[in-house]
Amino acid sequence: MGIPFEKLTPKRWGGEVPGPVERPPLDLGHGVVLDPPVVLSPMAAVTSSPFRRVCRDMGAGMVATEMVSAVGLIHRAPMAVSMVDLVEGESPVCVQIYGKRPEELARAAQIAVELGADVVDLNMGCPMKKVVSSGHGAALLRDVGRVQEIFSAMSEAVDVPVTGKMRAGWEDTSAVEVARAMEAGGAAALTIHGRTRSAMYDGHADLSVIAAVKEAVGIPVIGNGDVCDWVSARRMFSATGCDAVMVARGALGNPWVFREIAADLRGEPIPEPPSPELKRATLLRHVDLYLERFGEGRTCKEIRKHLLWYYRGTPGELVLRKRLSDLTSAEDIRQAIDAALAANVGQTELGAKSHPRASRPPQTKASGVVRDSR
């Protein structure tokens, strides 16, 4: 049973619910098909292998690594190589790289493919000062000629789809010009986030910019920005005409967002929010994947932010916050999860769609600052 459509009122969602949309699976070429056309965004310090696998389990059509330094890959730096940590069950998976020199990015793309990438993506959207000050990320939006050179070099170097993830512009919306340069260079598709670099993470994504890019190019366009549930995905599709959507912070603690959007695109009832038991089972699988891949020590450190995201806006969040500093073993983690579940039993669980705090992406240092690699 899904949630009856009539119960999903405009009042609940803060606006009119767009009509149903249909999107077929997105074929990027080279045998890569996104089915459904819903993608997990690259996110720094978040989209490691365990989270990617959980999101694939929940219906993501493609998942992406966090952004990886092209120079680091070329020199086989342990940190860079470890970030391209691809395992069975993730495909199709996109490896996102960053850099500014065409020849380096072409070589890094080749290495990414050697390591198992189904798609190689160029980061042209990260707005962080330490990234753009080196000419990387969103800084590339100011050099359209270089953008075309980069995509020409990368697309000639590998036999997989080469894509790019960009913002609406640097300070103004130069997205159409940049998108045309990407297409001219051989990009198989592009993702556009509807905020400029100067906007950072403030305000709302400008869907009109995404629509203008879709109108201007012939390659597939993936819309990104403020997609956190099936309604916001409908809005993105309806307002922009995009071919797929990318979910970033909306997936944190809520991997079920992918099955929700996928069901809506298929014209099926929207799945019920996850029960406390399903949430617990999913989180325990997430923990087990972490332990399997990274061992107990690293898991105890990195899983903390995920615990808080899964229980954000519930009584269990308060319980978890008291236990975070004491997590030193896998058993500690499991006991913390059970304590969070017990705190929610017998109470109305405030899920991600109904609680005012839970509906907002994580912003505080306490819960882990998240910068999606855009």
Banded model confidence at residue 368, pLDDT cuts 50, 70, 90: very low
Stretch 54-65: mean pLDDT, rounded? 98
When the pLDDT of each residue in the chain is averaged and rounded to a whole number, the result is 89
pLDDT at 46 over 60: yes
pLDDT at 350 over 60: no
Summarize pLDDT for 213-259 with one digit per residue, the tens: 999 999 999 999 999 999 999 999 999 999 999 999 999 999 999 99
- The answer to whether residues 248 and 374 touch, using CB atoms and an 8 Å cutoff, is yes
Q: Pick the residue with more confidence: 94 or 369? A: 94
Question: Which residue type does 352 have?
Answer: A
Give 22-29's long-range contacts (Cβ < 8 A, gap of 24+).
22/265, 22/267, 23/237, 23/243, 23/244, 23/265, 25/61, 26/61, 26/189, 26/220, 26/243, 26/244, 28/119, 28/161, 28/163, 28/188, 28/189, 28/220, 29/161, 29/188
Judge if the upstream peptide bond of residue 4 is cis by omega within 30 degrees of 0.
no
pLDDT, position 38: 99
pLDDT at 309 over 90: yes
CA angle 59, 62, 67 (to 5 degrees): 130
Banded model confidence at residue 345, pLDDT cuts 50, 70, 90: confident
Q: d(Cα 302, Cα 165) in Å, to the nearest integer?
A: 26
Q: Pick the residue with more confidence: 8 or 309? A: 309
Banded model confidence at residue 270, pLDDT cuts 50, 70, 90: very high
* CATH 3.10.180.10 applies to domain 11-271: no
Q: Pick the residue with more confidence: 81 or 1? A: 81
Active site residues per annotation: 126
pLDDT, position 360: 45
pLDDT at 312 over 90: yes
Q: d(Cα 91, Cα 49) in Å, to the nearest integer?
A: 11
Stretch 71-83: mean pLDDT, rounded? 97
pLDDT, position 362: 52
Structure tokens at 192: 């556009």
Residue boundaries of the structural domains of the chain: 11-271, 276-350
pLDDT, position 15: 66
pLDDT, position 104: 99
175: helix, coil or strand? helix
Q: d(Cα 123, Cα 66) in Å, to the nearest integer?
A: 10
Stretch 80-85: mean pLDDT, rounded? 95
Lowest mean pLDDT: which of 114-118, 176-180, 277-281? 277-281
Stretch 30-45: mean pLDDT, rounded? 98
How many C-beta neighbours within 10 Å does residue 221 have? Answer: 23
pLDDT, position 110: 99
- The answer to whether residues 93 and 86 touch, using CB atoms and an 8 Å cutoff, is yes
Lowest mean pLDDT: which of 143-157, 286-300, 313-327? 313-327
Nearest alpha-carbon partner for 109 in 148, 72, 158: 158
Q: Fold for 276-350, please state it.
A: 1.10.1200
Banded model confidence at residue 203, pLDDT cuts 50, 70, 90: confident
pLDDT, position 12: 39
pLDDT at 173 over 90: no
- Same fold for the domain at 11-271 and the one at 276-350? no
Banded model confidence at residue 196, pLDDT cuts 50, 70, 90: confident
